[in-house]
Amino acid sequence: MTICSDTIAPAEAATVNVYQAIGGRAAVAAAVEGLYGRLLADPVLSRFFPRGVAAKHRAYVVTILGEALGGPERYRGPDLAAAHRGLGITDADFDRTAVHLAATLDSLGVPGHLADYVVGVVAGLRPAVVTA
C-alpha cells in the first residue's frame, strides 16, 4: 500500500509506501528493538521470552515487518504459525503486545496515522500468532 505522508514537504509530495514514510529499515529496526524492550519488561508478556530475544529472532521480525510495510526485505524465516504453536499466546497477549507496539511507534515519533497502519498490518498476523 502506498500513502501520501504528511512527513514529506508539500513541494516533494509524492506517494510513498509506509516503509519509506516511517524511515525505512533503520526505523523498523528501532521499532523492533523498542518493542522487545517493552515486552521483556512487561510482567505478563516477558514469560514468552525466558532467555531474552536472540538477534536472529529480532532480525526475522525486522524483515517480516519491513516486507509487510512495502520495503525490499523478503522474509524467509520459519513459518509463523509453526514458530508460535504451543506457546499459548492468547488474544489478550496479542492485544497487549499491540499496545506496546503503538507506544513504541509513538515514542519514536511515528505520526499517528502511520502508526495505526503499522499496528493494523501486525494485527493481520493474529491468526498465525495466537495459539490459545
Residues 11-32: tens digit of each pLDDT: 344 457 999 999 999 999 999 9
The pLDDT-based confidence of 3 (bands split at 50, 70, 90) is: very low
Rounded to two decimals, the pTM is 0.86
Q: Where are the domains of the chain?
A: 2-129
Q: Per-residue pLDDT averaged across 112-130, rounded?
A: 95
DSSP summary character for residue 49: -
Domain 2-129: CATH superfamily, name plus number: Globins (1.10.490.10)
Chain mean pLDDT for the chain: 89
Query: Residues 47-82: pLDDT tens digits?
Result: 999 999 999 999 999 999 999 999 999 999 999 999
Q: Look at 57 and 8; give whichever has higher pLDDT.
A: 57
Contacts of 48 (CB under 8 A, 6+ apart): 39, 87, 89, 93
- What average pLDDT does this structure show over 113-132? 95
Closest CA to 16 of 98, 85, 114, 103: 114
Q: What is the pLDDT of residue 15?
A: 59
